[in-house]
Copies of this chain bind each other. A is one copy, B any other.
Amino acid sequence: MQAATVSTSSAPLNELPPWCATLQEAKARKGLSFEQIAKELGRNEIWVASVFLAQAKPTPADIEALEKVLGLESNALAAQAGSHWWPERGIGPAVPTDPLLYRLYEGVLVYGHPIKAVIHEKFGDGIMSMIDCKVDVQRKADPKGDRVVLTFDGKFLPYVPW
């Protein structure tokens, strides 16, 4: 068990409910990765990280599994993030300052309109759903430097005149 404390006085935890820090501390003390926890829950690790950051709502089974894998007391998480809790999604400033987050934002600024143009041509008038969407991150080995492969797999939703 490693010593690990997680401060709630700085971003992003300063705008999240307190159980987020609890989860992160437990994870750090157990020395677990999101990948390991995700396997225990049968989920993708991005989704699990979203729960840790209050950006996804865990099912009762997820909550029970999290309490178990993280060694929390029974009901410790359920009492706070149970059926009465709903995510208030969207964290951080409107324009991210953290370089990793900013690069994703830059992807929207620079490639957003080209992506829109191509989606229009491939699908017609509509959008890629960010609700019915699976997000995934993979590490791809590359001799010139390994690469991050970030995928959004979202349902196309057409605009229909009425």
| Chain A interface (Cβ < 8 Å from any Cβ of B) | 2-12, 14-19, 24, 27-28, 33-35, 43-47, 49-50, 52-59, 62, 75, 78-80, 82-92, 94-123, 125-135, 137, 139-140, 142, 144-162
Contacts and interface: CB of A to CB of B under 8 A. Distances in A.
Contacts of A148: 119, 122-123, 128, 152-156
A5 B111 contact: no
Determine how many copies of this chain the complex contains: 10
Nearest to A103: B130
B152 A150 contact: yes
B161 A62 contact: yes
B115 A135 contact: yes
Given A106-B90, A148-B128, A54 B10 contact: yes
